[in-house]
Structure 1
Amino acid sequence: MSHPIMSRSKDEGFVFSIIILTLTELVGLVGLVGNGIILGLLSSRIHRNNFSIYFLDLASADFLFLCCHLVIVIPETLQQHFSFPHYVYDSLLALRFFFYTVGLSLLGAISMEQCAATLWPSCYHRHRPPHTSAIVCALLWALCLLLHFLSYGTCGELSGGNAGIVCSQIGLARVALLCFLLVMMCVSSLVLLLRVECGSQRRWPQQFYLITLFSVLTFLFCGLPFGIYRLSLNWMKIPPHYYCLSILMACVNSSAKPPIYLCVGKLRRLRFREPFKAVLLRALGDEEELGEGGEILDTGPVEV
């Protein structure tokens, strides 16, 4: 016969898991719709400015992360009440953290490049290679893919978790990559904010650094706990409540960027009924395509 206190504790934990699961699914579905809209709008304007490819890849990483997250969160949250094929479960775990790392890497690249564009605007526009954004995005995807193939395919979840010196080194490399990206992202965002606010000349569109600042803050408060949970999972015991909150916050992090674009694009605008496409173009710096009333002009392709 089970103790009534223990039984009540299990019931409360189950109810808490159901609440977190429901909120995660609802937020994730909204995020899928928002990132899907961003993908549809940016796919036809990928060469409008230097950052369009970054935002397109970032939306792709967030969209794919949410696709894996909304599926894997069900057996993760209801481990004692829901069975899932082991190989599918491990594959989704690997893919989810892969897209998470790609999103973090892209956000770090965006913040660092915007910092360089603000500190050295003349040198940046004069000496920047025309395909830097595409090359950087391709390298980041390839680097994250290589690191996760080594981690999950060689000594991680997909191989049964065989321990060894190589596996420890790969785990340390993942932690080092996360710490490096966090430091560079925070430093570049802080320098960007101080430069734009304290400088006498504001050469770079203000919407860009607002988007970067809000995206970085959202990741630090919402996305970082999930990364800490995943990287420390094999080294320490994680409290269940921290785990549940981390998966919900990770979903919020990947779903928050479209609302950020919308809010930034509407700053200092008195018109409330405006197409989302026009608001997005304004937020991403494509105001040359907008007429005085906010309508979208067909100006043709723009060379970067």
Structure 2
Amino acid sequence: MASNDTNTTQFNDTNNFDKSHAPNSVIHYSITAAVAMGLCLIGIVGNIIVFWYLFFRIPRTKYTVYIINLAAADLLLLTFAAILMMVNINTLVGSNPDFEGIVVFYTFLQSIYDLSLYSGMYFLTAISMERCISVLFPLWYRSHRPKTLSVTMCICLWILGCSESLTVNLACPDNDFRNQTEVCTGVQIMRFTLSICICLPLMILSSVTLLIAIKKTFRNRYPSRLYIIIIAAVFIFILSVIPFNFLWFLMYFRLLPSIQDTLGLYFVSILTAALSSTANPYIYFIVGRLWKQKSSQSIRDVLHRAFKAQEDEKEEIKCEKENTSSSNNSNARNSTSSDSHRTDNSNYTNTENIL
């Protein structure tokens, strides 16, 4: 996921981009858009599967509530990113780039795209922070956590993401963005503060805490799959999205003067957004299959195992150890009984020979 703070500004500026002087750039942008669309289709399939199984087929937990909403946000982002790319390709090489209502249509697409982008970032921050608190303060967390916290948090985060998206896209239109008005500057600083100064440090802090927890428990047992999922999702998000937040902020203050640089940043940001949202469901599938030697596993079993609570994982490991121990004891008893039987037969044979 990546942030496109310029609304329709950057891409509408392609009207000033002379294609005849830079045909290679147009081809590169079109190829990038096509790759992003293909990536979006792959991610849409994965997120639909995750959403379906977690919502309808798997018992809901406090953590799967966040993942369901994250999958919904990723699904929205990928769908509208693919539509945005189609509109952008039409603007670059289409026969009717300036169709009637394009500005309103593009603003609508960008608003939903930003809504899913910001909400997904907040869901990742919330689930990583909640898991971090459960590790640092386990007793307090178990006794004071409200049962409806996950649902309440998700509703509030959707509202926050919607408010931020509408503010960015409506309070900072094209002319205000170009002229760097006070309102538009305040909006950009607000967005930058939320993503870089608040969400990024919280995600890094929680990920480091979970890594330390994994290191402490790794010698005794396998780490919680949920820890690995959170760390992997946050890591991919930080690598693919956060750098472009800095670049967009620099671009707003005209530190990227070339229109080619701005357009390249725009296309690459959407491509990395699609990559981050596409990776999440496949992270769940891969982690859910870890430490199991069975070749045939249903999607439901894989997802259920991926988001199993840590307490359930401990119980599962305990049962496996007990089964292994009982199996070893049974084998030992069978071996002892067999040895005893052979000894009795040997003694009986020796007695017969003596007689």
Query: TM-score with structure 2 length normalisation?
Result: 0.72
Secondary structure of 2:61 counterpart: coil
Q: How far apart, in 2, do the equivalents of 1:202 and 1:127 lie?
A: 29
Residues 1:75 and 2:75 aligned together: no
How many residues matched? 286
In structure 2, the CA distance between the partners of 1:212 and 1:131, relative to structure 1 (3 Å rule), is: same
Q: How far apart, in 2, do the equivalents of 1:149 and 1:161 lie?
A: 18
Q: How far apart, in 2, do the equivalents of 1:166 and 1:18 lie?
A: 34
1:167 is matched by which residue type in structure 2? Answer: C
The Cα shift of 1:186 comes to 0.9
Match of 1:255 among 250, 265, 278: 278
Residues 1:170 and 2:187 aligned together: yes
Segment drifting more, 160-169 vs 54-63:
160-169
In structure 2, the CA distance between the partners of 1:202 and 1:166, relative to structure 1 (3 Å rule), is: farther
Q: How far apart, in 2, do the equivalents of 1:204 and 1:104 lie?
A: 28
Residue of structure 2 in register with 1:268 after alignment: 291
Residue of structure 1 in register with 2:53 after alignment: 41
Q: How far apart, in 2, do the equivalents of 1:240 and 1:150 lie?
A: 23
Q: Deviations over 1:102-160 (max 9, x none)?
A: 10111011111110111122221111000010111111111122222223223335988
Residue of structure 2 in register with 1:150 after alignment: 167
Give the structure with the larger helix fraction.
Answer: 2
Residues 1:60 and 2:83 aligned together: no
In structure 2, the CA distance between the partners of 1:150 and 1:130, relative to structure 1 (3 Å rule), is: same
Question: Please, which runs of 5 or more residues in structure 2 have no aligned partner?
Answer: 1-17, 320-355
**Higher alpha-carbon Rg:** 2
Segment drifting more, 7-16 vs 71-80:
7-16
Segment drifting more, 68-77 vs 263-272:
68-77
Q: How far apart, in 1, do the equivalents of 2:253 and 2:115 lie?
A: 20
Q: How far apart, in 2, do the equivalents of 1:165 and 1:201 lie?
A: 56
Residues 1:50 and 2:62 aligned together: yes
Q: How far apart, in 2, do the equivalents of 1:271 and 1:203 lie?
A: 19
Q: How far apart, in 1, do the equivalents of 2:148 and 2:59 lie?
A: 10
The Cα shift of 1:81 comes to 2.2
Q: How far apart, in 1, do the equivalents of 2:262 and 2:171 lie?
A: 28
1:235 is matched by which residue type in structure 2? Answer: F
CA RMSD in angstroms comes to 3.0
Moved over 6 A (4+): 6-9, 158-162, 200-205
Question: Please, which runs of 5 or more residues in structure 1 have no aligned partner?
Answer: 1-5, 293-304
Match of 1:184 among 188, 202, 207: 202
Q: Deviations over 1:178-231 (max 9, x none)?
A: 011011101111111112313589899611110011001111122334544555
Residue of structure 2 in register with 1:283 after alignment: 306
Q: How far apart, in 1, do the equivalents of 2:85 and 2:206 lie?
A: 33
Residue of structure 2 in register with 1:197 after alignment: 215
Q: How far apart, in 2, do the equivalents of 1:171 and 1:129 lie?
A: 35
Kindly report which structure 2 residues correspond to 1:9-158, keeping only aligned pairs within 5 A, or say none: 10-44=22-56, 48-77=60-89, 79-82=91-94, 83=97, 85-157=102-174
Segment drifting more, 10-19 vs 273-282:
10-19
Secondary structure of 2:62 counterpart: coil
Residue of structure 2 in register with 1:219 after alignment: 237
Residue of structure 2 in register with 1:298 after alignment: none
Q: How far apart, in 1, do the equivalents of 2:178 and 2:19 lie?
A: 33
In structure 2, the CA distance between the partners of 1:157 and 1:44, relative to structure 1 (3 Å rule), is: farther
Q: Percent identity?
A: 27
In the alignment, is the contact (CA less than 8 A) between 2:80 and 2:109 conserved in 1? Answer: yes
In structure 2, the CA distance between the partners of 1:148 and 1:241, relative to structure 1 (3 Å rule), is: closer
Segment drifting more, 157-166 vs 216-225:
157-166
The Cα shift of 1:252 comes to 0.6
In the alignment, is the contact (CA less than 8 A) between 1:229 and 1:243 conserved in 2? Answer: no
Q: How far apart, in 1, do the equivalents of 2:170 and 2:58 lie?
A: 33
Q: How far apart, in 2, do the equivalents of 1:176 and 1:106 lie?
A: 17
In structure 2, the CA distance between the partners of 1:195 and 1:35, relative to structure 1 (3 Å rule), is: same
Q: How far apart, in 2, do the equivalents of 1:203 and 1:139 lie?
A: 36
